[in-house]
A and B are shown apart, each in its own frame.
Chain A
Amino acid sequence: MAEENAQQSYGSSGGGGGPRSSGPGGGPGGRPGGPAKRGKRNFVRKKKVCRFCVDKADFIDYKKAEILAPFIQERGKILPRRMTGTCARHQRWLTVAIKRAQNIALLPFAAEL
């Protein structure tokens, strides 16, 4: 086991040094086909849908803090698109709305201790 692991780690480090040469071995492993073969990271991800698209929102109101609240972290950071599944257009509007809400103290800039 230990030897195998050692070999794998060598292989990966070699891949890091010269991605082109080890491409057939390591490169495709990162692609969707690879993980399934090895039996690792073989989980199905639920497709996230933009909530504003579902509601057909043409406009995100900065005055409604309760709508914006699910899109910020506990520390007050804006959640990225990859976490919430918001589409690019709505994320753009959302960030503006959140920043406006922060300005008028409807949402926190950072959580207070």
Chain B
Amino acid sequence: MEERLYDLIFICRPDTPEADIDKVITTLEHVATEKGGKIDSVNKWGRKRMAYRVQKLREGYYVYMVVRSSHGEVVKELERRLKVADPVMKYLTVRLDEELKRQDKLKRHRERRAARRPRKTVPAAPAMPGTEPQAAAPTA
């Protein structure tokens, strides 16, 4: 099966020590590799104000990671771990690869159109400099 890419964001309680958050991250990495996936990148956004209260708290420690896997088991297990982990209040997994594919397609489409466009405008472009000197000559 083809490889899939996921965004995984989780929010920890703001009062958890950094060490505990690192522990959560390392366990997630272990779980991912165990199940045949891979965590591409981990990005700690740090303490942020949340848009609404979660577990009566206004702030949370955001951690963002990109997960790569070829089957859904990895995500299933990661989500189960997150649900069980004490410091984690909230998490979200979003499948990315299909959107990236669409983005790529649109980009290629636009590039192709951009490449085609100059052919139409090039004949017009030489005409423009030609007219300008003529217009300038009578005045001079």
Query: Which residues of A come within 8 Å of B, CB atoms?
Result: 56, 58-59, 62-63, 65, 100, 102-110, 112
Contact = CB atoms under 8 A, between A and B. Distances in A.
A108 B52 contact: yes
Interface in B6-20: 7, 9, 11
B103 A58 contact: yes
Contacts of B90: 104-105
Interface of B: 7, 9, 11, 50-54, 60, 64, 90-92, 94, 99-100, 102-103, 106-107, 110
Contact of B92 (A65, A103, A110): A103
B34 to A, nearest CB: 26
B107 A112 contact: no
Given A62-B94, A100-B94, A107 B51 contact: yes
B115 to A, nearest CB: 15
B52 A109 contact: yes
Interface of B is mostly: strand
Given A59-B102, A105-B52, 5 more contacts: A58-B103, A58-B106, A100-B92, A100-B94, A105-B60
B64 A63 contact: yes
Nearest to A105: B50
25 contacts: A56-B110, A58-B102, A58-B107, A59-B99, A59-B100, A59-B102, A59-B103, A62-B94, A63-B7, A100-B92, A100-B94, A103-B92, A104-B90, A104-B91, A104-B92, A105-B51, A105-B54, A106-B50, A106-B51, A107-B51, A108-B51, A109-B51, A109-B52, A110-B52, A112-B52
A25 B25 CA distance: 72
A59 B94 CA distance: 14
Nearest to B52: A108
Contacts of A112: 52-53
Nearest to B53: A112
